Amino acid sequence: MSDPNAKYQSPLTSRYASPEMAANFSNNKRFGTWRRLWYNLAVAEKQLGLGGITDLALDQMKSNVDNIDYEVANQEEKKRRHDVMAHVHAFGLVAPEAAGIIHLGATSCFVTDNADLIIFRDAMDLLIGKLVCVISDLAQFAVKHKDLPTLGFTHFQPAQLTTVGKRATLWIQELLWDLRNMKRARDDLGFRGVKGTTGTQASFLALFAGDHDKVEQLDQLVTELSGFTTCYPVCGQTYSRKIDVDFLSPLASFGATAHRIATDIRLLANLKEIEEPFEKDQIGSSAMAYKRNPMRCERICSLSRHLMVLIGDVLQTASVQWLERTLDDSANRRISIPEACLTADIVLTTMQNVVEGLVVYPKVIERRIRSELPFMATENFIMAMVTKGGDRQECHEQIRVLSHQAAAVVKQEGGDNDLIDRVRACEYFAPIKDDLDELLNPATFIGRAPQQVENFVANHVAPALAPYSAAIAAKKPAELSV
């Protein structure tokens, strides 16, 4: 056996991907699905009265669906330069009674395209199952921290307060849109069906002696035997590659969401307010032993960029399909679509691992609030002074002078924000000195953030996750191999 370390391996499968998603795009899954399709076609043809298909032939096909001799298939493909006919040959060797009727009436795209649609649908089921678990975990995080004030940022500059939980709902909302888009793409997938070489079903019409009704019944029967309720009503040799655009678009969009969330966590990690999990024996830097780099979120960002650009491949492929079809789609699709699903799978697993172990540092958050809140509270000071008989304009001027003095201490001297001490020491503000602590209570600056979290989770998150309660209940902790 050749050494796998002596040749290039895609890190998507060798390093990162989950076993279940890697298996979904394996040769066993693909070529096993081809054989199931050939079996379904033969079953349907026999059921509709086509002669020459024996029960023994069907039994041999069914019992050898997963009995694939890759050496035989590879040797035949090298000789014929045709993967489908190579596997027709290999299947016929283990199901000799069926050798003469395998692929009867079909074109290569009967197995290649229909198998792709089955594999894509299964891939999306895996992704949706992981996405709902991430949303569920984040929703719990949001509720837990719905009342914890934190400094908001616009332009990555200090802004009004929000809460840790409320910020998490911004992430969840985008993930809910991704869930909607993925489910819609999954449910919209149809079956190519049995359409023949250029989509006219001419070969099947010949097999059934011009009986149009039986051809239509064959198309529907094979569709149902293959696990679909509907097939595309018309196609050329292939199903329209526009379908690939519809399938991949939600994954690219999810890539943007994942990148945004991971970037937010990286920024907050720099502020030491929130961190991704860091294992006991994990090393952040080979040189700087003290470092705790956000490597999981960095990986999410790195892979999400790859995920986002893959949509370009399917868009270009869809745009250059000539007339009934052209083969310049094939090699590109073998790479771009599996890579998109594998990458989305890796990103979701990593996100779940991050969310499950998110660490919040309330004391650091509180300290940063204390450093910025005095400036934000100045309007409250003015309102409080006015209610006790003060002049609004004069109060504004007093606050302006003291604020500039405090800002100079922070920016020019590197000191702490001492605005509150200056307000307490100023005789002008004597009427509100006893009220300053309450005026500076962070909880009074977060508006309806806690209520927004509660309402959002109850009215939007819970209904969206309800159909997936079994998957969420069966969720296991996400473990990363590296």
Cα 300 to the center of its chain, rounded Å = 11
Separation in Å, CA 13 to CA 26, 346, 348, 481 = 10, 10, 15, 12
Residue 342 has which token pair?
A: 């594998």
Residue 190: closest CA among 247, 237, 236 = 247
Exposed (0-12), middle (13-18) or buried (19+): which is 146, by Cβ within 10 Å? buried
Dihedral sign for Cα 145, 150, 155, 160, please: positive
Residue 224: closest CA among 424, 43, 30, 87 = 43
Q: Are the beta carbons of 219 and 232 closer than 8 angstroms?
A: no
Instruction: Say whether 396 is catalytic.
Output: no
Residues shown for the chain? 482
Q: Are the beta carbons of 165 and 449 closer than 8 angstroms?
A: yes
Instruction: Say whether 285 is catalytic.
Output: yes
Residue 215 has which token pair?
A: 């051809």
**Residue at 198: amino acid letter:** T
User: How many Å is the Cα radius of gyration of the chain?
Assistant: 31
Distance, in Å, from the CA atom of 359 to the CA atom of 141, rounded to the nearest integer, reads: 10
Distance, in Å, from the CA atom of 461 to the CA atom of 471, rounded to the nearest integer, reads: 15
Exposed (0-12), middle (13-18) or buried (19+): which is 212, by Cβ within 10 Å? exposed
| Catalytic site residue from 14, 63, 82, 285 | 285
- Catalytic residue set: 155, 285
